[in-house]
Structure 1
Amino acid sequence: MNVLVCLSIILFILMKFIGGEKGTRSFIALFLNFGVTFLTVFLMTVQTINPIILTLLACVVISCINLFYINSVSIKSVTAFISTLITLLFLLLLIFIFVKKSMIQGFGIEELEELTSFTLYVGIDFGKIAVCTIIMGTIGAITDTSISVSSAMNEVYHHHPLISRYDLFKSGMNVGKDILGTTTNTLYFAFIGGYLALILWFKDLTYSLGEVVNSKVFSSEMISIFCIGTGAILIIPITAWLAAYILTKNKKTAVE
């Protein structure tokens, strides 16, 4: 049996056993998100479609799958969704500035040898593709953080319905601070794990520290990580404030 099939079965069994119905939905959501991503990449080849707008629409769909399909429509999922959209729009401006100033679009000189047999005249703006790549990488981290903070605040309010808006906001920030430490470390180790071969390649090329830092391949990944980290940080106060406002404003309906 194929290794991928075996691993998929093991993953499904564990998610079903531990997560129950939500675990099953989470497993199905993996394939739904893959389908959305694949369709987005395919449609990017159509020159009449703006890839940035297409990526934003894809991120909205992915957010709906991760928040509404897995967690159903509730106060906490709606709060997380709105917070995700606000953070995504704010990040879009920062990503545009960073990509334009750093000029990380395209391929690095280390990759040119493998690309010599291919044509680079594909009719796609690589500057926009660089923006799309960072946006797509951001959506997973901010949706995960937003639903974690919103869910925790919803639980706090459910058990303490007389809590003030400020105290509820403070509780959400405390939860977010705990999440923040693990999120930043996750981003760091994801980079190290995914680009360990690249680091070894730099060593074989006898690159100095300055050459490594200024290489396009390394810089593009670091900028992507910094943007994702910025989004994971910004989503915490946005979600905490929005959840505190909605929960204390609708005391009769904010129960799950």
Structure 2
Amino acid sequence: MIIILSLVFILLIFLFGSNKTAQSIVTTLINLGVFFGILFAIFFGMNPILATIIGCVIISLVTLFYQNEVNIKTKSAFYSVLIVLIISMSFTFLICYYSNIQGFPTGQYEIRLSNGYSDEIEVNMMFLQIAVILIVLIGSAIDTSLAVSSALYEVKENNPDLNKLDVFNSGLSIGKGILSSTINTLFFIFIAEYLSLFLYLVKYYDFLQILNSKEFAQEVITISIAGIASVIIIPVTAFLCSRRYK
């Protein structure tokens, strides 16, 4: 069924989409390959954070420069993503360290020795949790940054007399409109993906237990950090564009 749905999706892309849309399919396949590269790198002993950072940089390069060409807009977006990735990694490390959300939650009954699985995967689980969060946030960060940089480029092209402060303020205004849709997208993905988990928690736990459960905390913290990164990248992109666009 997965193969059939994938073939139907690709067929519709080629029938009704442009070359740009078809190019996005190639980008997705490359990014999927990068993801498996991250997985195997961690499996063979590479630090999960280092492997993920390298993977996120490659994903950014492919998504921005292959799919959207090399120009001042994509370069500005790429630099912004790198800055936000470094910032996000810093406070993500602190949050994961103090919240202790790494590892397998108690609700993941399938990961048990009695079921034939081993929970000793010989990987630093805190580093792995940070890697998961970075992978979650990179997509929304790239999309938001490219949207802001592209819109600001058009603003500057049509209003060449705008000074750097005006361009920066325009970027913040543009970002407000983009941010609402980005946050909504993250929120609904979160709700849809973990609906069964919520039903399970509501049935077997009271409100305080839900708030303190590792299952709930992992997902809320992950999606919250992704949202924070989507917010931070707006002023970062606006600032870089205001300095780079002449």
TM-score range relative to shorter protein: over 0.9
CA distance in 1, matches of 2:152, 2:6: 33
Q: 1:82 aligns with which of 73, 79, 84?
A: 79
For 2:156, give the aligned amino acid.
Y
Instruction: Verify: 1:23 aligned to 2:10, yes or no.
Output: no
Kindly tell me: are residues 171 and 10 of structure 1, through their superposed partners in 2, closer, same or farther at Cα, counting changes over 3 Å?
Answer: farther
* Contact 2:111–2:118 under 8 Å retained in 1: no
Matches within 5 A, 1:127-166: 127-166=126-165
The change in CA–CA distance for 1:19 and 1:243 in structure 2 (over 3 A counts) is farther
Aligned in 2, Cα 1:172/1:14: closer, same or farther, shift over 3 Å?
farther
What does residue 38 of structure 1 align with? 36
- Partner Cα distance (1:137, 1:6) in 2: 27
Look up the equivalent residue of 1:189 and give its one-letter code. Answer: F
Residue matched to 1:57: 54
Asked if the contact 2:111/2:119 (under 8 Å) is kept, the reply is no
Deviation at 1:10, TM superposition (A): 4.0
Instruction: Output the TM-score relative to the length of structure 2.
Output: 0.94
Residue identity opposite 2:238 in structure 1: A
**Cα distance in 1, alignment partners of residues 87 and 35 from structure 2:** 22
In the TM superposition, residue 114 of structure 1 has moved relative to its aligned partner by 4.2
Q: 1:216 maps to what in 2? A: 214
1:12 correspondence with 2:10: yes
Are 1:126 and 2:125 matched, yes or no? yes
Give the % identical residues. Answer: 35
Q: Is residue 2:236 matched to residue 1:238?
A: yes
SS at 1:111 equivalent: coil
Report the TM-score, using the length of structure 1 for normalisation. 0.91
2:87 is aligned with 1:101: no
Alpha-carbon displacement from aligned partner over 1:196-248 (angstroms, at most 9, x marks no partner): 0101111332x111111111011011010111011000000000110111002
Matches within 5 A, 1:179-198: 179-198=178-197
> What amino acid sits opposite 1:60 in the alignment?
V
Gaps of 5+ in 1: 249-256
Which letter maps to 1:211? Q
Q: Which runs of 5+ in 2 are unaligned?
A: none
Distance 1:233 1:26 in 2: 25
In structure 2, how many angstroms separate the alpha carbons of the residues matched to 1:12 and 1:243? 35
Cα distance, 1:15 vs structure 2: 4.0
Tell me the CA shift for residue 20 of structure 1: 1.7
CA deviation vs aligned residue, 1:122-160 (integer Å, no higher than 9, x gap):
211111101110011110010010000000011111222
Amino acid across the alignment from 1:32 = I
- Further displaced range: 73-82 or 181-190: 181-190
Q: Name the SS for the 1:30 alignment partner.
A: helix
Paired with 1:17 and 1:174, the residues of 2 have a C-alpha distance of 36
- Cα distance in 1, alignment partners of residues 87 and 39 from structure 2: 23
Q: Residues 113, 22 of structure 1: CA spacing in aligned structure 2 closer, same or farther, 3 A cutoff?
A: closer
Give the CA deviation at 1:14.
4.6
Deviates more, 1:157-166 or 1:230-239: 157-166
Q: What per-residue deviation string (whole Å, max 9, x for no partner) do you get for residues 168-201 of structure 1?
A: 2121111100011111111111111000010111
